[in-house]
A and B are shown apart, each in its own frame.
Chain A
C-alpha cells in the first residue's frame, strides 16, 4: 500500500469555509434528479425456484436502509451495501455485495447461495475469547470457550474434529511472497476431539461446549461462569510448575496435536486471531500429517507498517482448505486489516469491540445468528460470511445453545 501524505499548515478558517458551504450545498442536493436505478442480476446456480425476495440497500453514508421485494428500484445516489435474502427450493438463500457506488443507473451481479451449506454440518456457533473482568477491575482469562453446533439435519460424530487457530494476525497485514491462502489455512494451534468413529455423537441442533478449564470460575471471579459441565476442555501439559493448567477429571480433554507455544494456550484476548474447525481426511494420522513436508511451509512476507515494510520469514503448519469444516474470521471492527485465510471459507469477519484494547470487550462473545426453529431444531445462519452470520459483541453465555 502506498501512503503519501504531507502536512500543510492552512489557517483554520479556510478549512472551515468549504465545510460550512458544503453543508448547505449538500442539503440542496437531495432532489429527485440525483437518483439512479439499481438493477440486481441474481446468479443462483443449482437453484430452481426463488421466492420471498427481500433486497436491502444500506446507504453507508446516510446510515439508512431501503428494503424492497423486487430486484430493481430507484435509489438516491450514494454508496451502498447490498444484501438479499430469499427462499430457494424451500431453503433460505442469501447474497450480498459491499461498497456499491451508485452514481448512475447500473446493474449489479449478485451470487446467491444457500444459507446453510449443509454438507459440513458442524459450525462454530459461539466464540468467547476476550475473557472476563473481575469486580476489582483485573482481567481473568481462564474461562474462555468455544461452542460447536451441529447445524445439519443428521446426527453427526464429533470424533476427530480439530479446533484450529489461525497463525496469521487479522490486524497485522503481511504481504506474502507466496500467497498460500487459496490452498491452505496456516495454523498455530490444533486441538482435536478424541475418538475414532462414533464416540461423541451430536444430534441435529445440539451444541458442544469446549472450555479452557471445565470448572466453576465464579470462585475466582464472580463475573465469570460455571463451566464445570462443559463437554470438552483443552488441557496443556507442562513440565514447569510455573505453568499450570487445570484438568477436570470428569471432562474429556482434547488431544493437543500442535501448539506454537509450550506454555498454556489462551486464545488471543483482543480477537486478532481467527478460528476454524478442521478434520483430517480418512486415513491421515497426526504422525503422517507432521511428517508431510509440504504441509510445513516456509514463506517470506513483508510486515507492513507506517515506517515502511520489513521483510520477515516464517514457517507454519498448513491445513488444506478442503479439510476445513468451518472458519470464522475475528478482528476488531476498526483495526481489521485483512482476511488471514481464503475468503471462500469466510468472506467477512466478526468482533466484540471496535479496537483490540477496548475495555468493554470483557465478557463479550461473538455468536452465530439463529435463522429460526425448523422441525423443532435450531437452524443457524451460515453463508460463509461471518459479518452477516454473526452477532458481534453479545454478552457471553456458554449455555445459550444448550437445549
Chain B
C-alpha cells in the first residue's frame, strides 16, 4: 500500500509535458489502414518520441482489446505465446509449463474451469496469424484408451490451439480482442487473438534464452530490395523444455521456421501487394521411464507434431479514388488463401501385465454374439495415433472507403470457405494387445470421418460521424452468416445459416488535449462443432452373460457386442452472446478505460450421459440392461461477467518512468444447462441386483461451480535511453479468489428402468423402495459454501540492458518478493485452521543480438 501511494504522489507532483496531437484518422491514412491501424500509428509515433511501451495497451476504439507490441514482447522474454497473456487485465504471471498443453481462457479466473466440459471457451478463441485463422477442428491427437496416462495432460483435442506451438520472436504485434470482434472474425465464441508478424527489413537478430526448465534459441533477418518493393523475412526458433531440470526423460521440443515474402507492384492505375508465408512448426513431447531404476523399461510416450502452412494474400488496390468537394470513394480487393497440413503422430509403448486372471482379448467388430479368447498374462502393447489434418481457408473480400453526407465509411464484405479433414489412419493398434485391456474401444481410421465445409459471409461497416466539434460517433455494425455444408440432412446443423449480428458504438468527446469516450457493444458469436464432435467414434459395448461364469480352465468366453452410434444429430453450434459497456479517456497520453462485460454461452459442448435400454442374447439366454454412454451435446453453460480496467500514464521525463495499472474483477459460472442422467452416487450391487444395470435416475439439477477473483497489476517501468536500460517492476496483486459449488438436488425427477426401457416419474413410492431409494443422492449444505482465498501479492522484476551497440541482455524474476498473509479456514467442530502459503521465485535470462 505504501508503494502505491508513493507512486500516486509522484504522479501528482511531476509536471506532465505537452504532447503532440496524434491524428487518429484522416482519409489518407484510412486509405490503407483500419481504425486499429490508426492506433498502431499512434503507437509508432510514440516510439519516435522515445516512448517505449513495455506493457499491453488498451485499444481506445471499437471493442475492448489489448495490443502488445514488439517492445513489450521483448521485455516479457516469453518462451511461448502463453507468457504474453499475463499482460491482459486480470492476467497473472504463470511460470512456463511446457510439458502440458496450454490452452487460452479469456476473461476467466486463472484457475477457472477445471473440467473439459467447458472447453468450448478455449475452442472458441480464434488465433488469426497474418489474417488466416488457425483451425484445430480436425485435431484428434489423443490416445483413446489412455485417459489418465502421459497423453491426458498433453492432448488439446476439442480445446483449441495449444499455445506452446506458437513462438513469439517473429511477432510484430498482437491484438487480443476480448470484447466483440468485427464480423470478419468467425467461428469464435470467446475472443480473437490477432497475430501480425514482422514483414520489413531487419538486421540479423539472434536471441538465446535460458531458465531453469528451458532453453530457447532464435535467429532471423529481414531483407529488402528495390526500395523495399520486395521484402523477405525469415526466422528459425528452437525450444527445449523439461518438466524437471534433473529429468531428461520428460521433455518438450519445438522448432519453428518461417519464410515470409512480400512483393509490391505499382503501375499506372493500380497497386498490388502479394504476401506469401511459408511456416513450419514441429514439436515433440517425450516421456520415458528411467530404465535403470524402474522395471517398466519398455514404457514410453512420444507425441510428434509437424505442421506446414502456406499463407497467401493478394491485395489489389486500384487508383480509382473519386473525390469531390465533400465526398470520396475508393475500394480495394483482396484474396487470402491458406493451406495447412499436419503430420501428427503419437507412439506409446507399454509393458502390460494382467492384474487379475482371465481378461478377454476382444477383437469382434460386428454387432452380435462372438467367441473371444483371453489375453496372455503379459505382453507389450504398441499404440500409434496418426493424424494428418488438412485445413484450407479461402477468403475473398472487398473493402470500400467512402463518405455519404458527413459520414466516413469503411465497409468490408467477404466470403469465407473453411475446409477441415483428417487423412490419418487414426488409432492404430493390435486389438488383441491393447494398451488398456479393460477399455472397450475399437480403432477407427480418421480418413473415414467426413470433412467439414464451412461457408460464411460477412458484411460490416465502420462509420465515423463527426456530429459536432466536441462529439463524434464511431459505429461498427456487422452481420455474419455461417453454415456447415455437405453434412447430410440427418444433421440438424446442416445447411442452416447461423447469423451473428454485432455492433459497437463509441461516442467520443474530443477536445484540445485529448478525448473522453463512452462505448457500448453487443454481438452474437458462433463456433461450429469439430469433426470429432460431429462424427464421434462408434461405441462398442461388449456384454457378457451375467449368470454364466468363466472357469479357470476356460479357453474362450462368449460375448455380445452391441454397437452404439453416439452421434448427436441434433448438435448445434456453441453460441455466445456478449455485451459490454466502456468508458475511457485519453488526455495528454494519460489513458484510462473501464469495461463492464457479460458473456453468456448457454449451449456449449458437453459430453452428456445417454441411456439406452438393451436386450441381448448369449447362448440362447436373454438379458436386459441399461447401457449408459456419453455423447456430445449442447449441455454446458459458461456465463462470464466482469469489470476490466487499465490506466496508463505517459512516461514521466524526470524519472523516465511510466505507470500502468490494470486489473479485473471476474466472475464465471460453469454449469450444465440440461436435465441429466447421473450415476454419481449410485450403489453397486444390492441383494444381487446390479443397480445401474437396471435403474438410473434423471436429475433436474444444476451441476456446476462459480469462480470469482479480483486482481490488479501495477507496473512501473523505467526506460533510460542513454544507457539503454529498461527496468520494470510489477506489483501483482490478487485481492481474493472465491469458488463455490452450485447446490444440487439429489432427488431424481424420473428414472429409467431396464424392464421396459421407459422413463418413470419418481415419487414417494419409489423413495421407499429398497433399491430405488438408493437413487436419491444426499448432499449437505456445507458442500456448497463459498470458499475464499484472501490477498496474495507478488513483485516481479524485468531488466533489459544494452551492453554494446549490438547486444542486449535481459533477465526476469517472477515472485522476487511475495506477500502471502496466513489466513484461516473453517476447521472441525467450528474451529479454524490456519493456512500458511509459500511461493518460490522463477528466473530466466537471455541475450539478444542485432547485427
Which residues in A have some Cβ–Cβ distance to B below 8 Å?
Answer: 1-7, 131, 134, 136-142, 175, 213, 215-217, 219-221, 228, 235-249, 255-264, 266, 286-287, 290-291, 293, 296, 298, 300, 302, 304, 306-315
Contact = CB atoms under 8 A, between A and B. Distances in A.
21 contacts: A2-B827, A137-B294, A138-B296, A138-B351, A140-B356, A142-B354, A213-B357, A216-B552, A220-B357, A239-B625, A241-B372, A242-B440, A244-B356, A244-B360, A244-B557, A245-B356, A262-B692, A304-B827, A308-B787, A310-B783, A311-B781
B49 interface: no
Contact of A308 (B440, B559, B833): B833
B438 interface: yes
Contacts of B351: 136, 138
A172 to B, nearest CB: 13
Contacts of B360: 241, 244
List the 7 closest pairs (A to B, CB-CB), nearest first. Answer: A311-B782, A137-B295, A247-B549, A308-B825, A241-B542, A138-B353, A215-B552
Given A215-B357, A312-B783, A237 B552 contact: no
Contacts of A296: 773-774
Contacts of B550: 244-247
A258 B357 contact: no
Nearest to B691: A262
Nearest to A269: B355
A238 B692 CA distance: 11
Contacts of A6: 822, 836
Centre residue among B438, B685, B687, B778 by max chain A CB count within 10 A: B685
Nearest to A219: B377
Given A131-B355, A241-B360, A307-B835, 20 more contacts: A2-B832, A138-B351, A142-B355, A221-B353, A240-B541, A241-B542, A242-B438, A244-B360, A249-B549, A255-B688, A257-B687, A258-B685, A262-B685, A262-B692, A290-B687, A291-B770, A293-B768, A309-B826, A312-B783, A315-B774
Contacts of A3: 833-834
B828 A4 contact: no
A304 B551 contact: no
A227 to B, nearest CB: 10
B400 to A, nearest CB: 60
B295 A239 contact: no
B619 to A, nearest CB: 14
Contacts of A7: 836, 838
A205 B358 CA distance: 35
A350 to B, nearest CB: 25
B546 A309 contact: no
A238 B546 contact: yes
Nearest to A135: B295
B320 interface: no
Interface of B: 294-296, 351, 353-360, 362, 372, 377-378, 438-440, 541-547, 549-552, 557, 559, 623, 625, 681, 683-688, 690-693, 768, 770-771, 773-774, 778-783, 785, 787, 822, 825-829, 831-836, 838
Contacts of B783: 310-313
A309 B828 contact: yes
A175 B377 CA distance: 43
B686 A258 contact: yes
B322 to A, nearest CB: 70
Contact of B559 (A138, A215, A241, A302): A241
Given A142-B356, A243-B438, A5 B546 contact: no
B380 to A, nearest CB: 11
Contacts of B377: 219-221
A136 B353 contact: yes
A1 B547 CA distance: 49
B827 A239 contact: no
Given A2-B827, A260-B683, A140 B353 contact: yes
B544 A240 contact: yes
The A contact surface, by secondary structure, is loop
Nearest to B822: A6
B551 A261 contact: no
A247 B833 contact: no
B552 A300 contact: no
B836 A5 contact: yes
B359 A244 contact: yes
Contact of B296 (A137, A175, A213): A137
Contacts of B551: 246-249
Contacts of A315: 681, 774, 778
Nearest to A7: B836
Centre residue among B378, B549, B768, B787 by max chain A CB count within 10 A: B549
Contacts of A141: 355-356
A102 B247 CA distance: 51
Nearest to B360: A241
B542 A242 contact: yes
A244 B451 CA distance: 39
B629 to A, nearest CB: 12
A6 B822 CA distance: 9
Contacts of A241: 360, 362, 372, 440, 542-544, 557, 559
A302 B826 CA distance: 10
A302 B828 contact: yes
A312 B746 CA distance: 13
A242 B439 contact: yes
A377 B662 CA distance: 82
Contacts of B295: 136-138
Contacts of B358: 244, 246
Contacts of A298: 778
Contacts of B438: 242-243
B690 A213 contact: no
B780 A240 contact: no
Nearest to B551: A249
Contacts of B829: 175
Nearest to A308: B825
Contacts of A238: 544, 546, 690
B831 A2 contact: yes
A221 B355 CA distance: 9
A4 B294 CA distance: 39
A266 B688 CA distance: 17
Given A141-B356, A237-B546, A314 B778 contact: yes
Centre residue among A242, A287, A296, A311 by max chain B CB count within 10 A: A242
Contact of B687 (A216, A217, A286, A313): A286
Nearest to A138: B353
Contacts of A258: 683-687
Nearest to B376: A220
B693 A262 contact: yes
A138 to B, nearest CB: 4
A7 B692 CA distance: 50
B435 to A, nearest CB: 14
B780 A237 contact: no
Given A136-B351, A137-B294, A239-B544, A261 B684 contact: yes
Contact of A256 (B542, B557, B688): B688
A311 to B, nearest CB: 2
B548 to A, nearest CB: 9
Nearest to B352: A138
B775 to A, nearest CB: 11
Nearest to B554: A246
A246 B685 contact: no
A265 to B, nearest CB: 8
Contact of A175 (B546, B828, B838): B828
B827 A266 contact: no
Nearest to A253: B549
Nearest to A300: B780
B440 to A, nearest CB: 5
Contacts of A261: 684
Nearest to B547: A237
Contact of A287 (B543, B770, B826): B770
Nearest to B374: A244
B625 A142 contact: no
A2 B296 CA distance: 43
Centre residue among B372, B623, B828 by max chain A CB count within 10 A: B828
